[in-house]
Amino acid sequence: MSTADIAIIGAGAVGCAAARRFALEGAKVVLLEKGADLLSGASKANSAILHTGFDAPRGSVELACMQEGRREYLAIRERMNLPLLETGAIVVAWSEAERAALDGIEAQAIENGVTDVRRLTAAEIRLREPELSRSVLEALLVPGEHVIDPWSPFLAYLIEAKTQGAELRFSTEVLGGDFDGEVWRLSTSTGEVRANAVINAAGLYGDRIERLLLGDASFEIRPRKGQFVVFDKAAAKLVRSIVLPVPNERTKGVVLCRTAFGNVLVGPTAEEQEDRTRATVEEATLKGLVARAVEMVPALAEVDVTAVYAGLRPASEEKGYRIRVEAERRWISLGGVRSTGLTASLGLAALAVRIYSEIGQGHAAAKDPVWPKVPNIAEHLPRDWEQSDHGEIVCHCELVTRREIEIALDGPVPPGDFGGLKRRTRAGMGRCQGFNCNARLASLTAGRFAAPLAKDEAA
């Protein structure tokens, strides 16, 4: 059995970015993911905002990684065909107390290097956001906050990693392992894996992985659930900016923003829970979110709900990221990446490479890396249905073509489950939620997923 340079545990946002970075550095990477597809954990459900770090803790690793990650995303995105919806954000004061807090937020933004922020008067807000409730008092405009497609970047990173020789092992759970002074021997549900170094990017299980492999955990994961409601595409013309509340200690609060797919979302909540697997939606909470959205933008009362979802943040008992380095044992934990990992992932990957260059061996970086382009699924850019020979429209609400589905299924990193197909194509994610296409998708994907859509042939 060959020994990899680096085993990365977890194909979430952080693990996928790390796999790409290390593969580009010339390391032999093996990525181990217990789910059937990438983004099976915390990373499958978030607000999809590419943050500036304007409100991140001063001088923190989190801030540095967010800003480095954001910069890299903006630099590489066009080559990989990754979208950017340049919405800008407004931090909105709805009360005098919140208004008083804007000074501090503005000062922090400037200190964090986000210097293009600017105050908006109620009249200016009305011009920019005519549908926003008139009870708004004042806002801070953060032009650099943008919306992205939260899934395609990580697919692109894994395709790139694979092109550079990385081995991607899905449905592979790390169950234990030890380090003999030279090599890590990881026992997994699909056999032993050997590597010279380990990156722990296990998200909601980061502490458990430390305990399992290092004997002790340097932090404790405290899952924090966020529920969301997605409004129909008809809502997209009602909001331009990301509407952020004045944040409090625990959370950035409930956000209202467009999505890259032409919808509007409201959420997330911040609910502590013990359970690391169940991210349930709850009727009362969802209705509360709709009510909050309608308070902010009254015209949303007339718009249908398209989808509801929930995600778990891998928060820990402390606020910041939990980076643990064990030089002797050649181990790096990228843990506790609770609510900014979409933005920070590339920055965390770069950080890991810097740490590794001190504790691991050197590699010759790939000379002319290829830049795989992923199919666009964002609404504001050309889609496959606009081209000829697309086969047919399979998902009518999201106008997903048969060719798009076939390309995903036959791609270099094919989806391991239906969720993976949805994230690659948007099939079934529209307003009818599969009323029209679910059965057709069951046929088109027969034999592809460990958990197939159809349980059986009809009796």
Partner 1 sequence: MSVPADHTNVVIVGAGPAGLAAATELKRLGVGSVVVVEREREAGGVPRHCGHPPFGMREFKCVLTGPSYARRLARRAARAGVDLRLQTTVVAIDRDGDDPAVTLTSPEGVSAVRAERILLATGVRERTRAQRFASGDRPLGVMNTGALQAYAYLERLAPFRRPLIVGTELVALSSLLTCRAIGAEPVAMVETGAGPTVPEVYMMLPWLLGVPRFYSAEIVDIFGAPRVEGVTLRLAGGGTETIACDGVVFTGGFQPEATLVRAAGLELDRGTLGPSIDQFGRTSDPRIFAAGNVLRPVETAGWSWEEGRRVAGFIAEDMKGLLPVHQGAARLRPGPGVRYVVPQRLALGGGGLSQLQLRLGARSEGRLVARGKGRELASAPVAARAEQRVLFRSDLLGPVSGDVTISLEER
Ligand X SMILES: Cc1cc2nc3c(=O)[nH]c(=O)nc-3n(C[C@H](O)[C@H](O)[C@H](O)COP(=O)(O)OP(=O)(O)OC[C@H]3O[C@@H](n4cnc5c(N)ncnc54)[C@H](O)[C@@H]3O)c2cc1C
Interface residues toward partner 1, by CB under 8 A: 230, 234, 277-283, 286-287, 302, 304-309, 385-393, 396-397, 399, 417-418, 431-436, 438-440, 442-443, 451, 453-459
Residue whose CB is less far from partner 1, 249 or 389? 389
- Asked if 204 is part of the footprint of ligand X (rule: CB under 6 A), the reply reads yes
Residue whose CB is less far from ligand X, 197 or 312? 312
- Asked if 312 is part of the footprint of ligand X (rule: CB under 6 A), the reply reads yes
- Asked if 13 is part of the footprint of ligand X (rule: CB under 6 A), the reply reads yes
User: By CB under 6 A, which span of 119-127, 132-140, 341-349, 399-407 interacts with ligand X?
Assistant: 341-349
Rounded Cα–Cα distance for residues 26 and 162 (Å): 12
Residue whose CB is less far from ligand X, 39 or 405? 39
Residue whose CB is less far from partner 1, 75 or 446? 446
In SS3 terms, 323-355 reads as EEEECCCCEEEEECCCCCHHHHHHHHHHHHHHH
Direct distance between the N- and C-terminal alpha carbons of the chain, in angstroms, rounded to an integer: 46
CB of 239 to ligand X, least distance (A): 16
For 249, counting Cβ atoms within 10 Å of its Cβ (0-12 exposed, 13-18 middle, 19+ buried), the class is exposed
Partner from ligand X, partner 1, none contacting 204, C-beta within 5 to 8 A by type: ligand X
Q: How do beta strands 331-335 and 322-326 pair? A: antiparallel
Residue whose CB is less far from ligand X, 7 or 296? 7
Residues with Cβ < 8 Å from 386, sequence gap 6 or more?
A: none
For residue 202, the SS3 value is: coil
Binding-site string for ligand X from residue 206 to residue 235, where x marks contact by CB under 6 A and - marks none: ---x----------------x---------
**Which of 72, 173, 282, 295 forms a contact with ligand X (CB under 6 A)?**
173
Closest C-alpha among 233, 193, 164, 232 to residue 19: 164
- Asked if 155 is part of the footprint of ligand X (rule: CB under 6 A), the reply reads no
Spell 374-411 as b/e; 16+ CB within 10 A means b.
bbbbbbbeebbeeeeebeebbbebbbbbbbbbebbbee
Contact residues for ligand X, defined by CB under 6 A = 9-15, 32-35, 40-43, 46-49, 51, 173-174, 201-205, 209, 226, 268, 311-314, 337-343
